[in-house]
Chain A
Amino acid sequence: MPFTNEDGQGFTSTSFSLGNAIMPEDISSMSDNDDVMRDGKSFAIAGYCSTAVDVVAETGGAFYFALRLNDGTPATVVNASEMGGITPDGFASFGLKNRIISVRCMRDTAANTGDADDLLPGGADDYKLFSPTGISANWNFDFEMYSGAGGSGGNYVLYKTFGDTGIDYNLKFYVDSTRGDLEVLFNEAGGGDGYCTICGIAEFGPRMTKAT
C-alpha cells in the first residue's frame, strides 16, 4: 500500500517538514541558561571597580555553616568542589581565591565533644550559641578579608583572638591555596576548652585581581 498525495506524489519525490527540527544543540542551549542563572541571579550585580582591577563578571555567593572544631585541627567551611547548592560557573576550579570574603558567625567553646555538639543546630543547647539566655545578640565574630592566592601562613587570613581572663583562644579563617576551599583553624593557648562550635555565614564576591 504505497502512500501518495492527491497529486500522485510519493515519498520518493517529496520532502516535507513539520517545522524546524529540535536539534540537540537547541536543547543544549538550556545549559547556557543554567550558566546565566548561576552567574546571574540578582545576587550577581557587578559593582564598579577601578581600572587597576580585573574583576570577573560572575556572581558572588553566600554559604551557611555549622561546625564543631577540635583544637589544632583544620576544618573545611566551604568545600569548593562538593557544593550541594548553586555556585558560580567554574567555582570548583577557583573556589574562594581572590575574593572579598565576609565571615559572620557565633562561636563558643566547650570542654568536650558532647557539650560542643549540643551547641550545634538541633542540639540541646543550640540557642545558647546565639546567647546564653536565648535572647539573640550581635555576631561575636564579624570580619572581612581579601583572600588573594590563599594560604594559612600569610597575610590573607582572618585571625582573631578571644577568650576569658587568662585563657586565649583564636580562630583563623583562610583559603586553601590549592583547592580554593575556605578553611578554619581553632587553637586554644593552654588551660582552656579543646573544642569550639561555630555557626554563621560566609559571603564572597566575584574574583578580583590586578588589571593586566
Chain B
Amino acid sequence: MSWTAKPSGSEYDYKFSYTFKGCTGTTFTKFNKIRIMDKYLQSGKAFSLLGECESVGYNPHTGGGEFWSWIHIGGDKATSHSGILLNISALDGIAPKDFVENGLLNCVIELEMLHHAKSTLTDLTTYMPGRCNDYLTFSTDGTGSKPTKRAFLSDNGGGGISGDYKSVIGVGDDTFTWWADTGGNLIINYYYSGVSGEQWASVAVHGKFSPRIYYP
C-alpha cells in the first residue's frame, strides 16, 4: 500500500507544511545518555585490565575483579572446617564474562584477611558486623590492623589443603587455607590446633582476582 497525492484541494495542501508526531520527541539530551554510559564503561573497565603477558600464553579478555566477604566458620577443635568465600553461581553483582562457567579458575588471586577467634559460637557472633564487638575483628583495640596478605595461582582448581595451588595463613593456633575448587568457587578452610571443645572465627576478607591467564 503506497501513498499518492491526488489534486483536489483539501485540508492537506502542498502549499503548506505539516508536522506529524507519533510520540514525544527523542531529543539529543536523551541520546547523550549513551555517551555518559560509555564513560562509565571506560572508567569501570580500568579496574580489570589485563596486563602484558607472554605471547605463548593464552589470555581470554575477561575482566578481573574484587570481592569482600565476612563469614564465621568453625566448630569442633582439631577438625578442618571448610566453607565458600565466593560462590560463582550465586553472585549479587556483575561478574566478568563467562564467570559462571569458569569462576576463579586460572586466576592470580590476592587475599587480605583479618580475623578474631572465640571458643563459642555465641561469643563469636558478637564479632560480626553490626554487633557489639564487630570492630575487634579488625584489631584488639579498635584502631585497625595490618591485614595478612597472600597470593596464589588457582590453576584448574581442586588444590585442596594438600595441593600446590593454594594460600595458607597461620596465625597462632589458627590456620586458614584457600583454594579454588574445580567449579571455580573460592573455598576457605579453618583449622584450630586445640584438642577439645569448639573454636570459631570471624573472618573478614578482601580478595582480588585477575583475568584468566593460562596456556592453551
Contacts and interface: CB of A to CB of B under 8 A. Distances in A.
B24 interface: yes
Which of A39, A45, A144 has the most B CB atoms < 10 Å from its CB? A45
Count class of interface residues, chain A: 35 or more
Contact of B143 (A33, A45, A158): A158
Contact of A43 (B3, B26, B44, B70): B44
B91 to A, nearest CB: 6
Contact of B134 (A1, A146, A203): A146
Contacts of B81: none
A36 interface: yes
Contacts, number: 222
Given A6-B2, A27-B26, A144-B146, 5 more contacts: A21-B23, A49-B69, A100-B68, A208-B130, A210-B131
A86 B47 CA distance: 12
A41 B94 contact: yes
Interface on chain A toward B: helix, strand, loop, or mixed SS? mixed
Contact of B48 (A18, A37, A41, A54): A41
A210 B47 CA distance: 29
Contact of B128 (A3, A17, A52): A52
Nearest to A212: B130
Interface string B73-96: 000000000011111000111111
A53 interface: yes
B93 A156 contact: no
B43 interface: yes
B47 A62 contact: yes
Contacts of B83: 48
B144 A43 contact: no
A37 B44 contact: yes
A31 B66 CA distance: 24
